[in-house]
Chains A and B, each alone.
Chain A
């Protein structure tokens, strides 16, 4: 099946720093990718839709200046958590739509902000 990777798989940073998370579709091109956040024992929450070559579309309540999304190519989308704080600690997951109607998810990135 289609493969979506994320890097890094986990990251620990100090409060106030920025962290970039990469999402790559390894064997297909994805014009649309999505970013989710998941807190412990909770469901995935859609944060934004990342479209190649255009601005991301954010869900209501998600700060676009806090979570910067760049979809520079058909296989790469990045999420940058700017000025991270402990409350941003979470599991961040991306997904990509392959030709057709299947959405494939990455393995997730565990962010811990100290």
Chain B
């Protein structure tokens, strides 16, 4: 199972773009890259998922280089409410199998200042 490495913490100011990079050197062919956000005493919330190249949704973008050994979560114009822990995970989520187990790393504590 691919292990991920992220910065432990990051600081930003409101309105700035934040990029959090995650390393996953041992990612497997079937693995997807998924990012979650977690607020204190809440379950993680899905942000974005991708396999290769770039994925964009209404809240974030995910950049994945061709070798897939890293990925970057980009949060445009962060606000105070984006202060949370962000987890990068890699895993094979396949229906009908016992795969899909996700192993969380330490995550990145993002603090947004006014």
The DSSP consensus for interface residues of chain B is: loop
Is the CB of B103 closer than 8 A to any CB of chain A? yes
CA distance A59 to B98 in the complex (A): 12
A-B contact count (CB 8 A): 68
A: contact size bracket: 20 to 34
Say whether A43 contacts B105, CB under 8 Å. Answer: yes
Within 8 A of A (CB), among B95-114: 95-96, 98, 100-107
Closest residue of B by beta carbon distance from A93? B43
Interface secondary structure of A, over-half rule: strand
How many residues from B make CB contacts under 8 Å with A? 24
Closest-by-CB residue of B relative to A99 is B95
Q: Footprint of A on B, CB under 8 Å?
A: 32, 34, 36, 41-46, 49, 87, 93-96, 98, 100-107
Interface positions, chain A 50-99, Cβ under 8 Å from B, are 51, 57, 59, 91, 93, 95, 97, 99
